[in-house]
Structure formats: C-alpha cells, structure tokens
Amino acid sequence: MSGSTFGHLFKVTTWGESHGPALGAVIDGCPAGLSLSCIDDIQPLLNRRKPGQHEVSSSRKEPDQVHILSGMFEGLTTGAPINLIIENEDFIKDDYDDIKNIYRPGHADYTYFSKYGVRDYYGGGRSSGRETAARVSAGAVAIKILTELGIQVHAFSRSIGPFESKATNINYLETNTNPLCMPDDDQFPLALDYVKECKKNGDSTGGVIECHISNLPAGIGEPVFDKLEAVLAHALLSIGAVRAFEVGDGFTCSMAKGSTFNDSILSVS
C-alpha cells in the first residue's frame, strides 16, 4: 500500500492499524542537534488528541504513550530517521464480529476491499481515524522545529454543527483545554449541549477547524503544484473526516466582487 508518506525535506511515514498492536510514524529529514523530549514535546499534544477524556469524545480508552525508538542520542536528534511508536491497548476485536460482513456507509470498508481484495474490518485498519495519532506525534516534532524558528501554529474549533464562535481574540490556552477546543463565548455551551444530544441519540455532527500560522517567512513552498496552500490542502484533505479546505475567506470570496475582494499590495520593501 503506497500513499502513507508525506513531505519532501521533512518526510513523515505513518504505519500501523487501528486494532493492531501499535501504530506510529517514521520521520526522515529532522535536523541533527534538536533537543527533543517525549514527555515535554510530544506527549502533551498526544494528550490533547487522545480519546476517552470527555463525555463528548470517543469512548475508546487509550493512554497513547509515545516512545522514540531511534534517531536520538542523549536527548538530541542525530539526523537519522526517528521512529515513534504508540502501543494500542483498548482493542477488543470481538466487538467487530457482528459487522465483519457489513460494509459501513461513509467508511472506507468497501473502497479498500475493492482496491486490495483484503478488508481489515477491525476498526477500519489504516482508514481509521486512529491513524491521526501517528500524525500528531510526528507533527509535535515539526512544531518543535518551527518554534525554534519563531513560527507559531495554533488551531481551534471555529464552529460545531450550527453553532459558530464569533471570537476574534482567541485564547489558545483556553481552547486547548476545553472539551470542544472552542472559544468560550456564548456559542460554546450551546455547541456542547448539541454534541451531547447528538451522542445521546447515537448520532454525530461536523464542524470547522481554524488554524492560525504566524511569523512564516515569505517564499515558503514551490511554484504551481507545491505552493503552500496546495501542500496544506493535500495534508488536511488526506484526513478521512475532512471534506473541505479554505485559505483566508475561502468559500466566501465566491460571493464577492473582485473590486472588493482584491488583495492589494500596501508596501514593498
């Protein structure tokens, strides 16, 4: 199966299945001499992602403890490939016996079987959302590098279902710790009740995630197919639950005139 590797200079390959013994990521291209700690740099981001923390999150219970198997010496990266591993603990394969002959709608069950002739029905295998745990562990290393360069990356839930936060001054520490990762304005309690009601009824809902990147130098990316927006879209749309991607006002610009939406040049240095 190809398609599990992303990137060029900083290359990430994720591996493992939802209900296998473990999953993880191999990072190739991390510079040598970077101070890196599982406990301080990677685990906090995995703790934000891990299931079973709140009544509105996935009911699966996983400690999501990450370990570094290679590419480190005395707390510093060596420049060799870094192998990150996260062991699965809460996987009961018998839970899937009743649906092993049923293709789930909105999932990759039928697609994978049609393409490969083999179907891993235990939680979806590689197509499971659990694959993102490996991405988060590798992304934590990338964030460590970006932080060293003064580049900041923050993301939060802008809306959930029909409830959209209008907050402009985002408190990232606050959004990182609440169960919906959403600004704590008047829309937050409404969104929380809405998610609880969906879960109570055996249903689910969608939302919009907003990401802010600051201090990024000009010239990142390459022309045409590897421009920055294209690479970001590639990464995000490869997540199974992501159905759309926009930069700036994105879809809103389709309703605007060019004379009002034009991105004017204010100064050239």
Token pair belonging to 97: 């016996």
User: Residue 268: is its pLDDT beyond 80?
Assistant: no
Instruction: Give me the pLDDT at residue 94, please.
Output: 72
Instruction: Give me the pLDDT at residue 46, please.
Output: 94
More confident site: 254 or 25: 25
Average pLDDT over residues 26-30: 98
99 class by beta-carbon count within 10 Å (0-12 exposed, 13-18 middle, 19+ buried)? exposed
Confidence grade of residue 34 (pLDDT, cut at 50, 70, 90): very high
Give 75-93 pLDDT, tens digit per residue: 999 999 999 999 998 777 6
Confidence grade of residue 62 (pLDDT, cut at 50, 70, 90): confident
43: left (phi over 0), alpha (psi -120 to 50) or beta: alpha
Instruction: State how far the Cα of 117 lies from the Cα of 115, in Å rounded to an integer.
Output: 6
User: Residue 25: is its pLDDT beyond 90?
Assistant: yes
Give 133-190 pLDDT, tens digit per residue: 999 999 999 999 999 999 999 999 999 999 999 999 999 999 988 899 999 899 999 9
Describe the chain by its helix, strand, coil percentages, rounded to 5.
35, 20, 50
The angle subtended at Cα 217 by Cα 140 and Cα 246, nearest 5°, is 70
Q: Which of 66, 64, 71, 73 is nearest to 27 (CA)?
A: 71
Instruction: Give me the pLDDT at residue 122, please.
Output: 82
Instruction: Give me the pLDDT at residue 53, please.
Output: 76
Instruction: Give me the pLDDT at residue 23, please.
Output: 96
The angle subtended at Cα 244 by Cα 215 and Cα 114, nearest 5°, is 125
Other beta carbons within 10 Å of 50? 20
User: Residue 269: is its pLDDT beyond 70?
Assistant: no
Q: What residues pair up with 207 in beta bridges, in sequence order?
A: 160
User: Residue 213: is its pLDDT beyond 80?
Assistant: yes
Q: How many residues does the chain have?
A: 269
Average pLDDT over residues 64-73: 96
Give 233-242 pLDDT, tens digit per residue: 999 999 989 9
Do 216 and 156 touch, CB atoms closer than 8 A? no
User: Residue 104: is its pLDDT beyond 90?
Assistant: no
Confidence grade of residue 57 (pLDDT, cut at 50, 70, 90): confident
Give 161-177 pLDDT, tens digit per residue: 999 999 999 999 999 88
Q: Is the dihedral of CA 71, 76, 77, 83 positive or negative?
A: positive
